[in-house]
Structure 1
Amino acid sequence: MAKTLYLMRHGETLFNRLHKIQGACDSPLTERGIADAKQVGDYFRRAQITFDHAYCSTQERASDTLELVTDQPYERLKGIKEWGFGVFEAESEVLNPKPDPVRRSHGDFFLQYGGESDLQVQARVVKTLTEIMERPNHQQVLAVSHGGASFMFLRKWLSMDEIERRGIVLHNCAVLKYRYEAGQFQFDEVIDWSARPTAQIN
């Protein structure tokens, strides 16, 4: 029987608003980030979506987001933390390199500056989320992670051409739904919680 993973990006942070590179470093959620996370929690309650287990990365912006979505117990995991950008941490996003033309991502660029490659990030996130879904009694799981980490996970299961064709964008608080069975994830949808007629900022 297929299991379900809801993989969520954390809410907007101060560094997101200031367009700073934010990987291993952290910054607090903004008022919008807090409000959006509460809206996601409201969506899950209205849709009667419950989780038997919840997880987040070890970074504060992820745990703060999760605590706004649900009050259930959770576990923090290093394996789903954000991409490490080395000496580029907290610098302006204008310093990000152009995408590698073959891998269509940052590729190995950040390795030379003490960071991670795209494939390293992808491998640890895939390993961690697979191990989670293989645990007993894990039928419907929520995991709060980050933009880069979540995108590289998505790239494992969908080609870049397919991602662009579907117009998938991982905004803050985006929720990606996957089905998991026999060691494989199948992307289902990006849940558009903000399009609900009853949505309110509070």
Structure 2
Amino acid sequence: MKPTTLYIIRHGKTMFNTIGRTQGWSDTPLTKEGEEIIRYLGLGLKDTVFQEAYSSDSGRAMQTARIILQEHENGAAIPYGTDSRIREWCFGSLDGGYDGELWGVVPRILAFKDYEDMMTNRISYKDLADAIIAADTANWAEPYDKIRERVWSGFEDIAHHREKNGGGNVMIVSHGLTISFLLSLIDNRLPMQIGLENGSVTKLTYENGSFTIDTVNDTHFIDNGRGIASAH
């Protein structure tokens, strides 16, 4: 049996990413630059054999997955599906607002001076989820336990299904905070990976119910794809 490896990709850069708006369950399409970077990523991954592919059900993740599969040598033959469990956190009434609103109010709720002070003191994801709920005037934000259950079961079910069916590589397009949170569930010593690049690849190996982190925020596939594109 082959090892089971997840290639977890942060979606391409979107309109909201570009203008600094909070994008949880709200959604905007990739920009032209975002599409171009993901095409490079697709070229960089075109020779990687994927048994199957998934994305969250958010438009930006589905758009990213489609571009990668279009560039792949065997993209049309790779089974692809969506899973709502691996979508981004919901920021409630702060969703769609400027990043400064979210990262302005959350530190104050947690009794920190500002965002930098909060990150220096290394808050937990539960602290963050609780603060988002406190700031959310619409009562849409998810409690920590619900986020934990859906994110873990989403990725674990995908990995377990692949392992059960002979192993191999799975391409998964998800979201920055969701990927960062998953990493913390695997290894709680890791700092928050808030700065994951759009189009970066985080690679995990799965065996007998356990994940191992291989690489985080890897952008070399994009660089390789850019080289391939410029050679033609």
TM-score by length of 1: 0.87
What letter matches 1:80 in structure 2? I
> In the aligned structure 1, how far is the partner of 2:12 from the partner of 2:51?
22
Do the aligned partners of residues 117 and 148 (structure 1) sit closer, same or farther apart at CA in structure 2, a change above 3 Å counting?
farther
Match for residue 39 of structure 1? Answer: 40
Q: How far does residue 150 in structure 1 lie from its aligned partner after superposition?
A: 0.8
Given candidates 83, 87, 93, the residue that maps to 1:77 is 83
Distance 1:120 1:103 in 2: 16
User: How many percent identity over aligned positions?
Assistant: 28
**d(CA) in 2 for partners of 1:8 and 1:181?**
20
**Which residue is equivalent to 1:90?**
96
Whether 1:24 aligns to 2:52 is: no
Contact 1:122 1:149 in 2 (8 A): no
TM score, norm. by length of structure 2: 0.76
TM-superposed deviation, 1:198? 1.4
Tell whether the 8 Å contact from 1:4 to 1:178 is kept in structure 2 after alignment: yes
Which whole-Å CA distance do the structure 1 matches of 2:39 and 2:79 have between them?
17
Task: Give the letter aligned to residue 8 of structure 2.
Answer: L
In structure 2, list runs of 5 or more residues that go unmatched: 70-74, 108-117
Partner of 1:157: 186
Partner residue in 2 for 1:148: 177
Aligned residues: 197
| 1:109-130 Cα distance to aligned partner (Å, 9 max, x none) | 1223221245532331111111
| Correspondence for 2:153 | 127
3-state DSSP class of the match of 1:198? helix
Q: Distance in 1 between matches of 2:13 and 2:144?
A: 22
> Residue 14 of structure 1 contacts residue 28 of structure 1 at CA under 8 Å; is this kept in 2?
yes
- Displacement, 1:156? 1.2
Structure 1, unpaired ranges of 5+:
none
1:173 aligns with 2:173: no
Q: Between Structure 1 and Structure 2, which shows a larger proportion of helix residues?
A: 2
Cα deviation for residue 199 of structure 1 reads 5.4
Counterpart CA distance in 2 for 1:120 and 1:38 is 34
Q: Which amino acid aligns with 2:56?
A: S
RMSD across aligned positions (CA): 2.4
Provide the residue aligned with 2:60 in structure 1: 61
